């Protein structure tokens, strides 16, 4: 089997597993949609101080950030831990499937799910709340999504190294990402956050990914909408995730 065929085979398997898992579909697909409808319905007609855009326009890239992180970092970490602790990851290591094909299929699955969520959230924002579709900055959105998928997937693999059991996976992943959503301005506009909070958030990739998405959807953006500085920060976090994974990743269960 050729390299692309191996990755495609694993990707198809990961797609089946994801869409047949009600918890994964709910928290990755339905949960962000619920948040978008809630925030846009309650605050959508207001204007974000300092940005000059409607709150509904602000929340679309915010919810996209939530959905992408859920489809990548959260899902990868929890799925890898579940497979590791059940012994399936170790058995997979003993098959002819190369490690890179397994990881490639998982990353491709995360990218496709993220892309579906970008389209879904954008469509809901446009047709229900009048959020403009960023036709001029679509290339920047795709690049942002590619960089984010790579980085957050690698961070999900790195995080799985620190999770001791399947039962600990949900609380640990939520403990990591939920505070960063609030600190990064995903749920609360940055104009309402103290400078100290934003300074802390600037050290983490979720804020930089969100800022890149916000520039794409901001109707006041001039040019192609690429946030190279923010994308570099996200990419460097991805490289750090790869290095941590290479050093600490385990195929064998931690218990038993």
Contact, 122 vs 67, CB < 8 A? no
Contact, 60 vs 125, CB < 8 A? yes
Sort residue 193 into left (φ over 0), alpha (ψ -120 to 50) or beta. Answer: beta
- pLDDT score for 37: 96
Q: Which residues contact 192 (CB under 8 A, 6 or more apart)?
A: 49
The radius of gyration of the chain from alpha carbons, rounded to an integer in Å, stands at 18
Name the DSSP letter for residue 29. Answer: I
Give the three-state DSSP class for 94: coil
Residue 10: CA atoms inside 13 Å, Cβ hemisphere, count?
A: 22
φ/ψ of 194, rounded to 5, equals: -65, 150
Distance of CA 147 to the CA centre of its chain: 10
Contact, 196 vs 29, CB < 8 A? no
**For residue range 1-59, what is the model confidence (pLDDT) as tens digits?**
788 899 999 999 999 999 999 999 999 999 999 999 999 999 877 888 888 899 999 99
CA distance 80 to 86: 10
How sure is the predictor about 256, in pLDDT bands with cuts at 50, 70 and 90?
low
Residue 104: CA atoms inside 13 Å, Cβ hemisphere, count?
A: 13
- As a residue count, the chain comes to 256
**For residue range 76-134, what is the model confidence (pLDDT) as tens digits?**
999 999 999 999 999 988 888 899 999 999 999 999 999 999 999 999 999 999 999 99
């Amino acid at each position: 089997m050729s390299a692309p065929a191996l990755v495609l085979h694993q990707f198809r398997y990961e797609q089946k597993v994801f869409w047949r898992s009600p918890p994964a579909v709910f928290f990755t697909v339905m949960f962000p949609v619920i948040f978008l409808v809630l925030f846009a319905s309650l605050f959508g007609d207001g204007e974000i101080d300092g940005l000059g855009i409607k709150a509904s326009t602000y929340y679309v890239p915010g919810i996209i950030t939530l959905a992408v992180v859920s489809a990548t970092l959260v899902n990868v970490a929890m799925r890898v831990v579940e497979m590791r602790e059940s012994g399936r990851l170790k058995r997979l290591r003993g098959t002819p499937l190369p490690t890179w094909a397994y990881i490639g299929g998982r990353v491709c699955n995360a990218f496709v799910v993220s892309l579906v969520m970008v389209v879904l959230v954008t469509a809901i924002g446009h047709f229900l709340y009048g959020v403009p579709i960023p036709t001029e900055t679509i290339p920047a959105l795709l690049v942002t999504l590619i960089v984010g998928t790579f980085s957050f997937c690698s961070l999900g693999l790195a995080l799985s190294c620190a999770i001791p059991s399947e039962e600990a996976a949900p609380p640990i992943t939520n403990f990591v990402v939920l505070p960063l959503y609030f600190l990064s301005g995903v749920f609360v506009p940055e104009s309402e956050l103290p400078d100290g909070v934003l300074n802390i958030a600037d050290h983490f990739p979720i804020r930089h990914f969100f800022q890149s998405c916000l520039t794409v959807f901001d109707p006041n953006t001039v040019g192609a909408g690429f946030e190279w500085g923010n994308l570099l920060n996200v990419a460097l976090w991805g490289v750090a995730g790869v290095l941590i994974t290479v050093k600490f990743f385990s195929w064998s269960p931690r218990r038993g």
